[in-house]
Amino acid sequence: MTPALLQIKNLVKHYSNVQAVNGIDITLDSGICFGLLGPNGAGKTTTVEILEGINEATSGEILYKGKPLGDTFRKEAGIMFQSTALQDFITVRETLQMFADFYPVQADLDDLIKRCNLTEYLDQDNRQLSGGQRQRLLLAIALVNEPDIIFLDEPTTGLDPQARRNFWNLINDIKAEGKTIVLTTHYMDEAYTLCDEIAIMDHGKIIAQGTPKALLKANFNDVILQLPDTEIMDLEHLPFTVHKRKGHIEITTSDVDEVVSLLIENNISLAHLQIRSRTLDDLFLELTGKELRV
């Protein structure tokens, strides 16, 4: 039987006054995108750093292709850190060649340049790159050794919506090649779009794990109705829970017909009514009671 690509067993990391990771178990197979989510201080960054081999666990076991992390893992893993200092005064082309020379197995640089849309910027100094161009270069660096597993730490932070969507397409193309991706992100729409499976951490533990759709189905059987707050002046007499948000109110219900009927009976205009399904943002708040903060 072929072992899982990456297996984490009872992983623990304690500092002198902080229990950052408190016994987590994760198994990753090839060809999936796995999202690790959590509020600041939840332990996800520490967990990923241990998986990447740049931090040591207090206890627990990590197996890559059935064996402890070692030279094989270092040669076959690609990492895109949240913050990476690129060498000044050298070009994109020189940067890629420099990183490729670190590895015995190298990707076809011409193909990598094309896939990451870097052709126009090859002779440009790293300092002159825009945010989106820089992120594509960092992704190319993470892929330069033809890795089997790739760690992406908040790869689209600070990018505009179009650049984010383009980056998502690149990630989906990588996953289609059978590579495994470990993604941390503060964007719930990103996790929902890209991840086959997610784990939500809080206080050093995994508090929920599964596919995004399965987790939403298991935790919610209702929808959200949204109305401008100017439409409802008196909330006290309405027989359902109403949450005030900035510029609008939200009504949570499993019976849309009943709520709509009551709104009509109370002469509340439905002209701007919106009905939405539950999202990963809702799930995150439900489980942790905290908002994700970039």
Same domain for 49 and 81, yes or no, is: yes
User: Does residue 283 lie in a domain region?
Assistant: no
User: Does residue 292 lie in a domain region?
Assistant: no
- CA quadruple 269, 274, 277, 280: dihedral positive or negative? negative
Please, what is the average pLDDT of the chain? 91
pLDDT at residue 157, as a whole number: 86
DSSP string across 216-265: HHHH---EEEEEETTT-S--TT-SS-EEEETTEEEEEES-HHHHHHHHHH
pLDDT at residue 230, as a whole number: 74
Q: What is the pLDDT of residues 67-80, one digit of tens each?
A: 999 999 999 999 99
Last residue of a domain, one of 217, 236, 261: 217
CB–CB of 21/13 below 8 Å?
Answer: yes
User: Does residue 282 lie in a domain region?
Assistant: no
User: Does residue 83 lie in a domain region?
Assistant: yes
| For range 49-57, the mean pLDDT | 93
Q: Residue 151 phi/psi, 5° resolution?
A: -100, 120
What is the percent of the chain where pLDDT is above 70?
96
Q: How far apart are CA 83 and CA 103, in angstroms?
A: 22
Same domain for 170 and 73, yes or no, is: yes
Same domain for 84 and 43, yes or no, is: yes
pLDDT at residue 234, as a whole number: 64
pLDDT at residue 293, as a whole number: 47
pLDDT at residue 268, as a whole number: 85
Residue 217 pLDDT class (50, 70, 90 cuts): very high
Same domain for 159 and 261, yes or no, is: no
Same domain for 198 and 247, yes or no, is: no
pLDDT at residue 212, as a whole number: 97
Q: How far apart are CA 136 and CA 143, in angstroms?
A: 11
Same domain for 31 and 70, yes or no, is: yes
What is the percent of the chain where pLDDT is above 90?
76
Residue type, 121: Y
Kindly report the CATH number assigned to the domain that includes residue 87. 3.40.50.300
User: Does residue 17 lie in a domain region?
Assistant: yes
Same domain for 20 and 145, yes or no, is: yes
The edge-to-edge listing of strands for the beta sheet with 223-228 is: 242-245, 248-253, 223-228, 274-276
Residue type, 201: M
Same domain for 210 and 226, yes or no, is: no
Overall number of domains in the chain:
2
Torsion-angle region of residue 65: left (phi > 0), alpha (psi -120 to 50) or beta? left
Show the tokens assigned to 155: 């790869």
Task: Select the more confidently predicted residue: 43 or 229.
Answer: 43
Q: What is the pLDDT of residues 229-285, one digit of tens each?
A: 876 666 667 777 788 888 888 998 999 999 999 888 888 889 999 999 999 999 999
User: Does residue 288 lie in a domain region?
Assistant: no
Same domain for 63 and 79, yes or no, is: yes
User: Domain containing 265: what range?
Assistant: 221-277
Same domain for 37 and 145, yes or no, is: yes
Q: What is the pLDDT of residues 81-108, one digit of tens each?
A: 987 889 999 999 999 999 999 999 999 9
Same domain for 37 and 168, yes or no, is: yes
Last residue of a domain, one of 217, 232, 265: 217
**Which residues, including other chains, have CB under 8 Å from residue 21's CB and lie 6 or more apart?**
11, 12, 13, 43, 46, 47, 50, 57, 204
Side-chain half-sphere CA neighbours of 141 within 13 A: 24
User: Does residue 189 lie in a domain region?
Assistant: yes
Last residue of a domain, one of 176, 194, 217: 217
User: Does residue 124 lie in a domain region?
Assistant: yes
Same domain for 203 and 230, yes or no, is: no
